[in-house]
Amino acid sequence: MGVPQIFIDGNTGATGMLIRERLLARNDIGLISLEDQQRKDLKYRIEALYACDIAFLCLPDEAARQAASIAKKSNAKLIDASSAHRTDECWVYGFAEFKEGQREAIMTANRISNPGCYATGAVGILAPLIKAGLLPIDYPFTINAISGYTGGGTSLITRYESEAAENYKPDPFWQYGLNLNHKHVPEITNRLGLVHPPIFQPAVANYAQGMLVNVPLALWQIDRQPTARSLHEILSEHYNNSRFVRVASLTETTKLQELNPQALNGTNLMEIFVLSDDNTRRAVITARLDNLGKGSSGAAVQNMNLLLGIPEDASISMSA
């Protein structure tokens, strides 16, 4: 019996290229590759989708929907890195640490939707706290985040890395999603079961990758009157046995002077910090991750490993 055949549909974007880079050195899988002209020809893409065991869809949303429709009668298992299916209940949410049983659901799935990078941080922070009843689903959540420019998609990457960009220095920091309808908002709202969409304000800085996702909480405003310690206890318990998510101790957090968003670049790790001022009962919970690692390509390969029943950390770096 041969090795599983893997096809990356759309391997010229940042996520697809990094998935390919992670898989090239492996001898336990085979990669189906298309020439440049073949990638533009639907006939060859269809042949690859029907020849593979697992396909990564690293495509714009509409193209991902088309590919998923084409592959309906194939035996291929799909991992969609776009936002096309992130609120579709027919697709398993590809965040293994999301909740109890999620890893097992991924292992037996035929259709997996990879989480968005910002959503990985926000859902990773809030899901355990909401499930434990410490935070209500009707709380007016706000999420503030900063990412390297790869978090802004193809157009932003082009702005920073094109030939024209070499002649001037792009703005060092700017906000986007100003209409408050960023594409990750429906995903966050749906996966957390929130009554109201969060106010989400993303920003990018003049570096390629690395992300901080911040959720501020007015603890005095919440009926259950949670403390920073109780929030930390729930998060620590939830991620106690996780290979890829680490909750910093309160002692470690109190000593922090700064958080470098690029500290986990090149890894599939996410770190969570509970920052607080107990005197005024305010807290900010921060997730740090590589938006191209745990936020996209690393999580996608993690999901593939689970599907294949091989070590979850295969070809995924676990150290910065």
- Residues noted as catalytic: 117
Residues pairing with 8 in the sheet: 56
Pairing of strands 270-277, 282-289: antiparallel
Query: Hunting for tokens 């291929």 — which residue is that?
Result: 76
Among candidates 270, 292, 208, which has minimal Cα distance to 22?
292
Angle between helices 117-131 and 228-238 (to 10 degrees): 110
Q: Which residues contact 20 (CB under 8 A, 6 or more apart)?
A: 8, 11, 31
Secondary structure of residue 157 in the 3-state scheme: helix
Structure tokens given for 295 = 């936020």
Centre a 10 Å sphere on the Cβ of residue 162 and count the other Cβ atoms it contains: 11
Cβ–Cβ < 8 Å for 121, 319? no
Helix (H) or strand (E) holding 273, with range, is strand 270-277
Signed CA dihedral, 198, 233, 258, 217: sign only: positive
Q: Which residues contact 207 (CB under 8 A, 6 or more apart)?
A: 148, 149, 261, 262
Among candidates 310, 295, 185, which has minimal Cα distance to 244?
295
Q: Which amino acid is it at 231? A: L
Helix (H) or strand (E) holding 48, with range, is helix 42-51
Cβ–Cβ < 8 Å for 299, 95? yes
